[in-house]
Structure 1
Amino acid sequence: MATDTVLKAEGLTKDFRGFRAVDGVDLSVLRGTVHALIGPNGAGKTTCFNLLTKFLSPSAGRITYKGQDITGMKPAAVARLGLVRSFQISAVFGEMSVNDNIRIALQRRRGHSYDFWRSQRILAELNQEAAELADSVGLSSFLPTPAKELSYGRKRALELATTLALDPEMLLLDEPMAGMGHEDVERTTELIRKIAASRTILMVEHNLSVVATLSNTITVLARGKVLAQGDYKTVSGDPRVVEAYIGSGHA
C-alpha cells in the first residue's frame, strides 16, 4: 500500500454568519486507503465534506488533491481531476433503466451529453462496459429494470455504478449506508470493500460497525475540530471520543 497523500486539507475553516462550523481542520487521506470522517450530530462532518468536494467554499484554509491546489476550483473541475462524490440521497433517473443510467454516466466521462437520437450502434458500444459496471455492483440481473423499481439499497448500488463510470481515482461517499436495512448494509459494505481495492475512499458514515469494518484511518470531529485520528482501535479507546458520543446521545 502506497503512503503518499492524495487529498489534504490544511487549516480548513468555514464560518456561517458568525457561527464556525469547521474550525482549522487538518486532514490527510493516503492513497489506497479507506478514510472515515465521523462524529456526533453537529460535529461539522457534512460541512467539512462539502468543503472537500467544493460544494462549499472555505472561509480559510487550503485543499490540495494530488499536490494540486483545488481550494478555488468548482465541483465539476475537481471531478474532472478524478475526485468524485456521491450524495446522501440517491441520485438516479427513475424512469430510465439501470443500463441507461450507467450509459449516461459513461457518456459524461467521454465528454458527451446523453443523446437519444444517436444511433443504436453508437449507444450499443457502451453496453458491454455498462454490463461490466452493473456486474461489479451486483446489478447484472437488473439491467433492463427501471431504476424506480429497485429497492433503496440497489438504487444506492446503481448510484455507485454511475459514479464508477466516471472512472474516479478517489471516491467521496456521503453516508452510503443511510436509510438501509441490515441486508443492504452488508451488501453495500462488501461493495465498498471491493471498490476500495483499486481506489482511495473518503466517507462520512454514522454506522460505526461499518466504519470499524472498512476503515484504515478515522478522523473524529467534534464542534468543528479534529478530536482524534487513527485506526478504529485507537479512536474507539479515546476517552474524548467516548465522551463526545455519549454526551450527544449516541451509544
Structure 2
Amino acid sequence: MSTHILETQGLTKVFKGFTAVKDVNLRVKHGTIHALIGPNGAGKTTVFNLLTKFLSPSAGNIIYDGKDITHRKAADIADHGIVRSFQISAVFPHLSVRDNVRVALQRRLGYSYHFWRSDKVLDSLDERAMELLDAVGLADFADDISVELAYGRKRALEIATTLALDPALMLLDEPTQGMSVEDVGKITALIKQVAADRTILMVEHNLGVVASLADTISVLNQGEILAEGPYEEVSRNKAVREAYMGTADA
C-alpha cells in the first residue's frame, strides 16, 4: 500500500483563460496533518474544490488510496471516505445540535436523510450522536438549537457532523476563521484529537495553528506549489516570505 492517501499529478484549473491552479503535485501521507497555506488568491480553495469534485480539473489526475478518482462525482468522493468542511459553518440552523449529527449519521448508515422515518428508528442513532458530541465538547448542548450556538461551537458541531460520516480523509477549509483566541485554542486541540486515527488536509491562514498542528506544509502562490516541508523549513524559505510579506528579509 502507498504511504500516501492522496496524490495529485499535474492538477490544473483554468477559468476562461485565467489559470487558478497550475501543475500542482500534492502528496498527503496516511495518518498525518497536511496544511495547504498561501496568500489570498493563491488557489487554496480551488484546490479543495477540485479534490472534492465541486470543480472538474482542466488537466491532471487525483489519486485517492491508490485509485484514480479524477472523474468521480462529488457524492462518490464522500462515499469513498473524503469529507470536507467549509469556510462558513454549514449546519442546519433550526435543528437541535443532536439532530444535526443524526442527519449526518443517517447518510452514513444508509438512511439517506429520510426525515419521515419513525422516531424509534432515528432514536437508535442517539447513542452514536452523543458520543460524537462528547468528543467535540458539545454533549451539554445536545438539545440547543444550532443557530443559538456561539461561533466556535458551531464549528465544533460541523466537525462532529463531518466525523459522523466516518471519513478516512478530512478536508478542513479555514477551521479557525473568524474565531476568538480562546476558540482557536479549542478547535486546534480538537483537530489534533480527531487526527489520531485519520488523515487531515487543511487550508488555514493562522500560521500559529499551522505551526502547532501540521506535519507537512505545502505553500501555494499564484496557483503553484512554491515550497513544501515541515514548518521550520518552510518558514525560513525566502520565496515564501516574499509571497506573504513582500520581502525576503521580513
TM-score, scaled relative to structure 2: 0.96
Alignment of 1:38-117 (within 5 A): 38-117=37-116
- For the Cα contact (< 8 Å) 2:2–2:65, is it kept in 1? no
Write the distance in 2 (CA, Å) between the matches of 1:3 and 1:73: 21
Opposite residue 45 of structure 2, the aligned amino acid is: T
Matched, 1:142 2:141: yes
| 1:66-215 paired onto structure 2 within 5 Å | 66-215=65-214
Q: More displaced, 33-42 or 239-248?
A: 239-248
> Unaligned stretches of 5+ in structure 1?
none
Counterpart residue type for residue 203 of structure 1: M
Question: Number of residues paired by the alignment?
Answer: 248
Whether contact under 8 Å (2:130, 2:139) holds in the other structure is yes
Find the residue that maps to 2:5 and give its secondary structure: strand
Q: What SS does structure 1 have at the residue aligned with 2:26? A: strand
Shift of 1:124: 1.4
Residue ranges of structure 2 left out of the alignment (5+ in a row):
none
Please give the alpha-carbon distance, in whole angstroms, between the structure 2 residues aligned to 1:228 and 1:246. 15
Aligned residue in 2 for 1:218: 217
In percent, how many aligned pairs have the same letter?
61
Q: CA deviation at 1:3?
A: 7.3
* Counterpart for residue 237 of structure 2: 238
Secondary structure (helix, strand or coil) at the match of 2:12 reads strand
- The runs of at least 4 consecutive aligned structure 1 residues that moved more than 4 Å come to none
Match of 1:6 in 2: 5
Alpha-carbon offset, residue 222 of structure 1: 0.8
Scaled by the length of structure 1, the TM-score of the pair is 0.96
State the SS of the aligned residue for 1:23: strand
Contact 2:106 2:114 in 1 (8 A): no
* Equivalent AA in structure 1 for residue 49 of structure 2: N
How far apart, CA to CA, are the structure 1 residues paired with 2:114 and 2:23?
A: 45
Per-residue deviation at 1:157? 0.5
The 5 Å alignment of 1:23-42 reads: 23-42=22-41
Instruction: Name the SS for the 2:60 alignment partner.
Output: strand
Deviation of 1:122 (Å): 1.4
Deviation at 1:221, TM superposition (A): 0.6
Partner Cα separation in structure 1 for residue 211 and residue 35 of structure 2:
9
Distance 2:122 2:199 in 1: 30
Letter in 2 for 1:153: G
Equivalents in 1 of 2:138, 2:29: separation in Å?
A: 30
1:41-73 Cα shifts (integer Å, max 9, x gaps): 111111111111111111000001001101011
In 2, Cα distance between the equivalents of 1:247 and 1:81? 41
